[in-house]
């Protein structure tokens, strides 16, 4: 991948730098989104977990993460962690040769780093208000090394196991959303329920701000995954907007019918569900298909959250129902609706005769989701042997902002 045979394309390079910036903005957006959803005494605790990933994931990415994702393959499962360690061998003139986009390799390093940052941050919403910071720090490290980095290699590296098999994931239905969502579910089962359950958002405008930043950044997430500017880039952009909007309206309407009131938080949550669902399919389907995916996402993710509530799973911020189910659903629907007419480098789905492609998509997302769930549960068990994982009841009652960090989002009198 590191060769200087491709000439620099200034337009593609500038575009990808903008997209990397947009994806970076999604992590603070997630912090605001989650921060508004939790109670007043736990705002900073949930937000610092996102910003911690912004810092620590970058350190790991520079040290060996990029190399594990895109270095020479070990049996199609993971890259050689030493090949690009500390960006060894990458110079000013080293070009990315995964396609003929003409972007420097450092641009690809930066863009993919932003994906690595936000993915584990998504999981934090599931165990909000009850996990110690030390346990989260250890979890963040282990999960990146044993789940995220191998998944990236298997699906997005040309030598990856699933990539060579023909599995498609345009921008992270498996790599980002299904993996984070099913890891979130495992963390809920391991850590257990909160002692102090607060399911009422403390600041809806903060949620709206976070959703706006996420939605805006998602265009860099999805359109940028083409790694160049062409017609597929434009269709991925439009598909993202369409799916998010249809999912938002669908969620609002379903909740309105069931609860007799249109809910702003429901509209916002539906938009995120639609974005998660279109993510793997954005560059492989028609805009009319994005409408279908958005409507299905709004209905299915809404009822997934309702089922979670009925079963008593304490996924505090609905990470599994929105991201896990949305990502899984997007991969399966891609297997049904994919069309080479909208991306010659893609595949034809089940409706166009691609039965084998559909099966591959279903197998890949099932295997990866199961591994993310199993590893998460296992690694939390190991962490619990080293340090306390769940905070004590007194800490929850007092609020984790003061208890863990000695800070307050809203000091008395302000």
Q: pLDDT, tens digit, for every residue of 46-78?
A: 999 999 999 999 999 999 999 999 999 999 999
Cα 268 to Cα 251: distance, rounded to the nearest angstrom: 9
Nearest to 57 by CA among 112, 106, 113, 109: 113
pLDDT at 29 over 50: yes
pLDDT at 22 over 70: yes
Residues of the chain above pLDDT 90, percent: 95
Name the DSSP class of 77.
T
pTM here?
Answer: 0.95
Nearest to 400 by CA among 37, 41, 68, 7: 41
The phi-psi region of residue 102 (left if phi > 0; otherwise alpha if psi is between -120 and 50; otherwise beta) is left
pLDDT at 3 over 50: no
User: Quick one: average pLDDT of 122-134?
Assistant: 96
Residues of the chain above pLDDT 70, percent: 98
Q: pLDDT tens across 207-216, in order?
A: 999 999 999 9
pLDDT reported for residue 94:
95
Q: Could you give the 3-state DSSP secondary structure of residue 3?
A: strand
User: Quick one: average pLDDT of 190-195?
Assistant: 94
pLDDT reported for residue 151:
98
pLDDT at 1 over 50: no
pLDDT at 413 over 70: no
Q: pLDDT tens across 98-121, in order?
A: 888 999 999 999 999 999 999 999
pLDDT reported for residue 379:
97
User: Quick one: average pLDDT of 287-316?
Assistant: 97
User: Quick one: average pLDDT of 247-260?
Assistant: 96
| Domain positions in the chain | 9-405
pLDDT reported for residue 184:
97
User: Quick one: average pLDDT of 393-399?
Assistant: 94
Q: Tokens representing 211?
A: 């959703």
Q: Could you give the 3-state DSSP secondary structure of residue 390?
A: strand
pLDDT at 252 over 80: yes
User: Quick one: average pLDDT of 242-264?
Assistant: 96
User: Quick one: average pLDDT of 155-175?
Assistant: 97
Three-class DSSP labels, 83-133: CCHHHCCCCCCCEECCCCCCCEHHHHHHHHHHHHHHHHHHHCCCCCCCECH
Average pLDDT of the chain, as a whole number: 96
Q: pLDDT tens across 331-365, in order?
A: 999 999 999 999 999 999 999 999 999 999 999 99
User: What length does the chain have?
Assistant: 414
What CATH number has the domain spanning 9-405?
A: 1.10.3430.10
User: Quick one: average pLDDT of 303-317?
Assistant: 96
Cβ-based neighbours of 31, under 8 Å, separated by 6 or more? 46, 47, 50, 51, 121, 210
Q: Which residue has the tokens 């669902």?
A: 277
């Amino acid at each position: 991948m590191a060769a200087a045979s491709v000439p620099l394309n200034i337009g593609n390079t500038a575009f990808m730098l903008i997209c990397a910036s947009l994806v970076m903005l999604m992590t603070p957006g997630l912090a605001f989104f989650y921060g508004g959803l939790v109670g007043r005494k736990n705002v900073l605790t949930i937000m610092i977990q996102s910003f911690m990933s912004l810092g620590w994931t970058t350190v790991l990415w520079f040290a060996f993460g990029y190399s594990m994702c895109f270095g020479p393959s070990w049996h199609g499962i993971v890259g050689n962690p030493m090949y690009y360690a500390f960006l060894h061998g990458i110079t000013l003139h080293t070009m990315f040769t995964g396609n003929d986009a003409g972007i420097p390799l450092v641009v690809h390093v930066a863009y993919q780093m932003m994906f690595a940052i936000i993915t584990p941050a998504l999981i934090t919403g599931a165990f909000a208000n009850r996990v110690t910071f030390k346990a989260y720090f250890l979890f963040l490290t282990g999960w990146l090394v044993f789940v995220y980095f191998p998944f990236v290699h298997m699906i997005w590296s040309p030598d990856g196991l699933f990539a060579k098999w023909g599995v498609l994931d345009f921008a992270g239905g498996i790599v980002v959303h299904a993996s984070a969502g099913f890891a979130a579910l495992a963390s809920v089962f391991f850590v257990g329920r909160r002692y102090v359950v607060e399911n009422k958002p403390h600041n809806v405008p903060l949620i709206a701000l976070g959703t706006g930043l996420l939605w805006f950044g998602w265009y860099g997430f999805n359109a940028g995954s083409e790694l160049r500017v062409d017609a597929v880039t434009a269709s991925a952009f439009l598909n993202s907007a369409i799916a998010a909007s249809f999912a938002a309206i669908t969620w609002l309407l379903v909740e309105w019918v069931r609860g007799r009131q249109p809910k702003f938080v429901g509209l916002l949550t539906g938009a995120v569900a639609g974005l998660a669902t279109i993510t793997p399919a954005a560059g492989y389907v028609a805009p009319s298909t994005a409408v279908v995916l958005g409507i299905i996402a709004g209905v299915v993710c809404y009822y997934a959250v309702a089922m979670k509530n009925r079963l008593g799973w304490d996924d505090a911020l609905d990470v599994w129902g929105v991201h896990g189910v949305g990502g899984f659903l997007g991969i399966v629907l891609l297997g049904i609706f994919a069309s080479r007419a909208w991306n010659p480098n893609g595949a034809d789905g089940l409706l166009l005769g691609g039965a084998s492609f559909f099966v591959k998509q279903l197998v890949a997302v099932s295997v990866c989701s199961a591994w993310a769930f199993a590893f998460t549960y296992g690694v939390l068990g190991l962490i619990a042997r080293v340090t306390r994982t769940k905070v004590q009841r007194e800490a929850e009652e007092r609020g984790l902002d003061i208890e863990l960090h000695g800070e307050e989002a809203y000091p008395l009198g302000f």
